[in-house]
Amino acid sequence: MLTTGLAVTVVYLLAVVATAAFRGDGARPLFDGFVPPSSYRFVDPPQFFAPGNVQPGSMATTLALGPDGSGPAGFATPDGQFVVNLARGAIQAAPGATSVQVQVTPIAPRHTRPVPGGLRANGNVYEVNMRYEPTGTQVTRLVRPATLLMELPELGNALFVSPDGTRWTRLRSRPVSADQLTLTANFTGPGFYVAATDLPELVVQPAGAQRSAIWIGIATASGALVLFAVGALVVVRRRRVREGRPAAP
């Protein structure tokens, strides 16, 4: 018994090694497909997350400016996927400016350059605009620390910023939630922010493949019936042999 078990175990481990070498996508194979539903809201959801997707919200708010710049403040998109907390004086005062208009807009990653390093965007790109009012001058940088929290649809710990959506710079970031689906990093100022992951994209078969899955199902059921029939045939033959009758041709 143990010998058989050990032999089967060795075969299994050889299959593991061969599969790891063959697949090469870094993802461990799961023995059942069960991906949790994502509550993440995509502007342009990948096909896998498209069913039931709700569009994310943008936000706009006005921050008052004093002689020392902005007060302690925070702003977030209505769905909480993009949250920024500003320390007192993070936005410096500017001549003639009494407030800062902040706008955060989620956009689809396909409207910006792909993130570098063989990674792929993990959720929406968030465009942050800050403009002094009433002068209309753009805020280009922050002078005091600010913190960013970004929700993610999938595992990944990379976060990028870009002034224009074309040249991405990686931020030092770390996950903060138990489910590893929230990243925090320093908020460096207006620009484009996007999380990234090295996970392979979750696969949804195209419509044709989904139709073919029905045929695969039918073929599998038919194959199973054939196997069961072969088993039954073996039983019948054995019984006939045991009873001394000639086996059926």
Which residue, 59 or 202, has its beta carbon nearer to other proteins?
202
CB of 187 to other proteins, least distance (A): 25
**Cα 69 to Cα 100: distance, rounded to the nearest angstrom:** 10
Min separation Cβ 116 and other proteins, Å: 20
Q: Among residues 44, 65, 64, 63, which one has the least CA distance to residue 54?
A: 44
Site for other proteins in 110-139 (CB under 8 A): none
First-to-final CA distance of the chain: 35
Q: Which is nearer to other proteins, 52 or 67 (CB)?
A: 52
Residue 32 as a binder of other proteins (CB under 8 A): the answer is yes
Quote the distance between the C-alpha of residue 219 and its chain's center: 34
Cα distances (Å, whole numbers) of residue 55 to 33, 58, 107, 124, 223: 26, 10, 11, 11, 44
Contacts of residue 107, defined as CB under 8 A and 6 or more positions apart, other chains included, come to 43, 124, 125, 126, 127
| Residue 241 contacts other proteins per CB under 8 A | no
Minimum CB distance to other proteins smaller for 73 or for 150: 150
Size, binding site for other proteins by CB under 8 A: 70
Coil, strand or helix at 228: helix
Residue closer to other proteins by CB (options 60, 234) is: 234
Using CB under 8 A, which residues numbered 150 to 189 contact other proteins? Answer: 154-155, 179-181
Within residues 191-230, the interface with other proteins by CB under 8 A covers: 198-199, 203-205, 207, 209-211, 213-214, 216-225, 227-230
Closer by beta carbon to other proteins, 8 or else 64:
8
Q: Measured between alpha carbons, how far is 197 from 69 in angstroms, rounded to an integer?
A: 36
- Per CB under 8 A, 52 contacts other proteins: yes
Smallest distance, Å, CB 208 to other proteins? 11
Residue 54 is a binding residue for other proteins (CB under 8 A): no
CA distance 105 to 110: 15
Q: Hey, how many other C-beta atoms are within 10 angstroms of the C-beta on 117?
A: 12
Does residue 28 sit in helix, strand or coil?
Answer: coil
In the complex, the residues that contact other proteins under the rule CB under 8 A are: 1-2, 4-6, 8-9, 11-20, 22-23, 25-37, 51-52, 154-155, 179-181, 198-199, 203-205, 207, 209-211, 213-214, 216-225, 227-232, 234-235, 238-239
